[in-house]
Amino acid sequence: MSTKTKLHELVDACNDEHLLASAIALLSTQADTEWWSTLPLAEQAKTKTALAQLDEGQAVPHDEVLQAAWQKVQS
């Protein structure tokens, strides 16, 4: 029996909502992180830098960016 088949059987037989929610969280986390490893290292570095800047409060709110862009377009 394949691993996937066994997992399907276990999930089908499980009535513990907490356990099923934990399994969903675990599998979702794994799937969510897979995309990161597909990014080029340069993009990973840029993203990490951007996230650090956000953490340090070095962000410009979206509405301010839009307002500045519209002012440039209209001038």
The per-residue pLDDT for range 20-56, each reduced to its tens digit, is 888 888 888 766 677 788 888 999 999 999 999 999 9
Residue 44 in tokens: 């990973």
Total domains in the chain come to 2
User: Which residue segment(s) compose the domain that 61 sits in?
Assistant: 40-75
Rounded CA separation 44/9 (Å): 38
pTM score, whole prediction: 0.45
Q: Are residues 5 and 18 in the same domain?
A: yes
Q: Are residues 1 and 32 in the same domain?
A: yes
HEC readout, the chain = CCHHHHHHHHHHHCCCHHHHHHHHHHHHHHHHHHHHHHCCHHHHHHHHHHHHHHHCCCCCCHHHHHHHHHHHHHC
Q: Are residues 47 and 72 in the same domain?
A: yes
CB 29 within 8 A of CB 41: no
